[in-house]
Amino acid sequence: MKILVCISHVPDTTSKINFTDGDSKFDTNGVNFVINPNDEFGLTRAMWFKEKQGASVDVVNVGEKETEPTLRKALAIGADNAIRVDTPAKDGFQVAQQLAKVAKDGDYDLIIAGRESIDYNGGMVPGMLAALLDANFINTCISLEIDGDTAKAVREIDGGKESLTASLPLVIGGQKGLVEESDLKIPNMRGIMQARKKPLNVVEPEEVATQTEAVKFEKPAPKGEVKLVDPENLDELIDLLHNEAKAI
Amino acid sequence: MSVLIYTETEDGKFKKAAFEVASYAKEVAEKMGGEVTAVSFNANNASELGKYGVSKVLNIQNDKLGKFNAEAYADAVSQVAQKEDSKVVVLSQSANSKYLAPLLAVHLDAGYASNVVDTPESTDPFTVKRSAFTNKAFNFTKITTEVKIVGLSQNAFGLKENETEATTEDFSPELKDGDFSVNVESVDKAKDKVTIADAEIVVSGGRGLKGPENWGMIEEMADILGAATACSKPVSDMGWRPHSEHVGQTGKPVASNLYIAVGISGAIQHLAGINAAKTKVVINNDPEAPFFKAADYGVVGDAFEIVPKLNEKLKEFKAKNA
Ligand SMILES: Cc1cc2nc3c(=O)[nH]c(=O)nc-3n(C[C@H](O)[C@H](O)[C@H](O)COP(=O)(O)OP(=O)(O)OC[C@H]3O[C@@H](n4cnc5c(N)ncnc54)[C@H](O)[C@@H]3O)c2cc1C
Ligand SMILES: Nc1ncnc2c1ncn2[C@@H]1O[C@H](COP(=O)(O)O)[C@@H](O)[C@H]1O
């Protein structure tokens, strides 16, 4: 089984979010970039398929040179090969088309992406990729097993879950549940050393169109002071929620 | 010109999200000089959408589409969009709509903006405001394709009545075998429980509650308020509560009208996921807990004393205001 894991390179969850160039660009100053958490769950599940079912695991990112440390980390966790499509990520559709080319060239059986990137929260690349490849697609995937060319998956829905089956090739939008938090691997010294020697292939991008453009950013208006209610006077809280906030 | 909405139903009845996308689409259609058309699947009373400004409903009656199936639904909705020559398609951000939208985008060659929080800033060029960086910022996105898809965040627009005579007709999409190649085997869903995605009110507990055995008072509050229950990440990681209740940056997003946090410190990753909730209340015995900076109302004190008392008072309030 050949697996491709799509890795998006995102600011870590504690990052301060600021913008530059007249609020038109994300300010990367002092920001620590990591593997998108949803992709880390997917990558760890892919390692399980490698260990237990002899799968090969490639990782791919669409981005410029600064994303390479993130791909190296994926190699240190245990991926076999990394591919970087050398172009800035402009919108979900452009990224999906670049990934579709890599996916076709590599003839993968299973493509693991994340439910969404925690930066732009697009939630669109995996579905678009599946549609472009005419492959099956399962989103918000929280459990995945492969037997021959059949996948058994569980997907989270609002208020519950759904069990599904689909044949390969398959694209998933994964999240926590694929593996547990405690299964995530921190690369060890040996992994990091090995990763240095593993191939990281830089490929030229396709000429593709975009459909959307991020024109500017804005930070939420600062919040007013919290109104504190005395624990001995909870009627006041109910009154505020009812009459002021109109929330109950 | 028509603005098409995908309206979700459950057991034949429209969900609140369907009325919200209708209300929103009506405003967009007015800005652009057009009408709102809806597509629904197995709806019992399709004309009900007229109340929120829909002029025409294409209802698809088909047993094969009784259960949501992303590929088949995407195929059907794009056929409706093409027939109606829709230039804007609006859907909610439920789990199913988020599954459907990117497939639809490829079928219709349409640009898609997700997590949209307001009516378009301009319709030419078509520019929408969306939340990004998990509610830590907003991002204005221009959609440059002829057909545009808007994913409207829950509770971002609300309901707006606009009594309209809605005509209804049946529509039979042409379905291919390939539409059903992802097979839904079974659905496991609590029937009588309010879900975090649909809830007006969410009551959430954190590590401050000490153990799963103390969740009775949280469930009681949720019961009184008709709310959904939620929790912080460590609580679900420790198995005190199911994963489906974990909210935050790496869990579910919350966009309810009211969020009540009990024994939750308010870590940045937790707040990111719940920032979109309109009113936030925190109950915590540490006045320095960061949640107090993010909340609208707060009570400093021991949850084990406050919550039971508050529950009694909420019961009285509900009895009076029923
Ligand atoms: C990559 C990453 C992603 C993450 N994603 C998420 C996420 O999506 N969601 C999330 O929630 N967290 C997330 N976290 C974890 C987050 O950083 C915090 O650790 C977590 O939110 C803390 O949970 P808590 O508030 O329940 O527990 P604590 O931080 O332990 O807080 C417990 C609170 O309860 C109060 N308390 C104690 N006793 C009482 C009492 N008797 N009465 C009233 N109050 C009391 C304490 O004062 C304290 O403020 C993430 C972390 C990382 C690194
Ligand atoms: N630039 C990128 N390179 C590789 N994979 C990506 C990229 N952007 C998004 N993805 C994948 O698509 C998923 C969803 O991203 P998004 O649609 O941007 O929210 C991510 O979790 C990744 O798996």
Predicted ipTM of the assembly: 0.93
pLDDT at res. B102: 98
The residues, any chain, with a CB within 8 Å of residue A89's CB and separated by 6 or more, are: A8, A62, A63, A95
Confirm whether residue B266 is marked as ligand binding: yes
pLDDT at res. A223: 83
% residues pLDDT > 90 (chain A) = 94
- Report how far ligand 2's centroid is from the alpha carbon of B43 (Å): 35
Q: How far is B100 from chain A (nearest CA, A)?
A: 8
pLDDT at res. B315: 97
- The confidence band for A146, taking pLDDT boundaries of 50, 70 and 90, is very high
Confirm whether residue B267 is marked as ligand binding: yes
Domain residue limits, chain A:
2-217
pLDDT value at A5 more than 90:
yes
Among B185, B132, B245, B151, which Cα is nearest to A152's? B185
- B275: which chain A residues are within 8 Å (Cβ-Cβ)? 220
% residues pLDDT > 70 (chain B) = 100
Residue type for A132, please?
L
Among A241, A7, A170, A142, which Cα is nearest to B203's? A241
- Give the residue from B89, B97, B250 with the most A CB atoms within 10 Å of its CB, the best one to mutate: B250
Mean pLDDT of chain A: 96
Q: List the residue whose alpha carbon is closest to atom 43 of ligand 1.
A: B284
Alpha carbon A21 to its chain centroid, in Å, reads 27
Find the range with the poorest average confidence among A21-25, A180-184, B307-311.
Answer: A180-184
Residue A125 per-residue DSSP state:
H
Mean pLDDT of chain B: 96
Q: List the residue whose alpha carbon is closest to atom 46 of ligand 1.
A: B208
CATH H superfamily, domain B2-180: HUPs (3.40.50.620)
pLDDT at res. A18: 95
pLDDT at res. A170: 98
Phi-psi region of B317 (alpha: psi -120 to 50; beta: other; left: phi over 0): alpha
Q: Average pLDDT of B80-106?
A: 97
pLDDT at res. B5: 98
Count CB neighbours of B289 within 10 A. 23
| Closest atom of ligand 1 relative to the B303 alpha carbon | 42
pLDDT at res. B189: 87
* CATH entry, A2-217, from 3.40.50.620, 1.10.10.60, 3.40.50.300, 3.40.50.2020: 3.40.50.620
pLDDT value at B22 more than 80:
yes
Q: What is the third-level CATH fold of B201-320?
A: Rossmann fold (3.40.50)
pLDDT at res. B19: 98
Among B178, B98, B139, which Cα is nearest to A126's? B98
pLDDT at res. B233: 96
Ordered alpha helix ranges (H), chain A? 37-53, 68-77, 92-106, 125-133, 189-197, 234-239
Confirm whether residue B207 is marked as ligand binding: yes
pLDDT value at B322 more than 80:
no
* Residue A92 token pair: 């979900």
pLDDT at res. B197: 87
- Give the residue from A212, A228, A238, A239 with the most B CB atoms within 10 Å of its CB, the best one to mutate: A212
Tell me if A155 sits within 8 A of A161, measured CB to CB: yes
In angstroms, rounded to a whole number, what is the distance separating the alpha carbons of residues A85 and A65?
10
Contact B114 A121 (CB under 8 A): yes
Find the range with the poorest average confidence among A13-27, A120-134, A228-242, B182-196.
Answer: B182-196
Q: List the residue whose alpha carbon is closest to atom 12 of ligand 2.
A: A125
Confirm whether residue B265 is marked as ligand binding: yes
The residues, any chain, with a CB within 8 Å of residue B110's CB and separated by 6 or more, are: A211, B89, B104, B143, B145, B146, B147, B148, B149
Angle among Cα B189, B97, A7 to the nearest 5 degrees reads 100
- The confidence band for B236, taking pLDDT boundaries of 50, 70 and 90, is very high
Residues 104-133 of B with CB under 8 A from A: 105-107, 110-115, 127, 129, 131-133
pLDDT value at A197 more than 80:
yes
Find the range with the poorest average confidence among A108-117, B16-25, B207-216, B245-254.
Answer: B245-254
Q: Which helix (H) or strand (E) holds A172?
A: strand A170-174
The 10s digit of each residue's pLDDT in A50-102 is 999 999 999 999 999 999 999 999 999 999 999 999 999 999 999 999 999 99
pLDDT at res. B290: 97
pLDDT value at A228 more than 80:
yes
Ordered alpha helix ranges (H), B196-259? 216-225, 233-237
Reported pTM: 0.93
Query: Which protein residues touch ligand 2 with a CB less than 6 Å away?
Result: A 6-8, 36, 38-39, 60-63, 89, 92, 95, 113-114, 116-117, 120-126
In angstroms, rounded to a whole number, what is the distance separating the alpha carbons of residues A178 and A40?
10
pLDDT at res. B123: 96
Q: Average pLDDT of B13-30?
A: 97
pLDDT value at A222 more than 90:
no
Domain residue limits, chain B:
2-180, 201-320
% residues pLDDT > 90 (chain B) = 92
Q: Which helix (H) or strand (E) holds B231?
A: strand B228-231
Among B187, B217, B190, B189, which Cα is nearest to B205's? B217
In angstroms, rounded to a whole number, what is the distance separating the alpha carbons of residues A139 and A149?
19
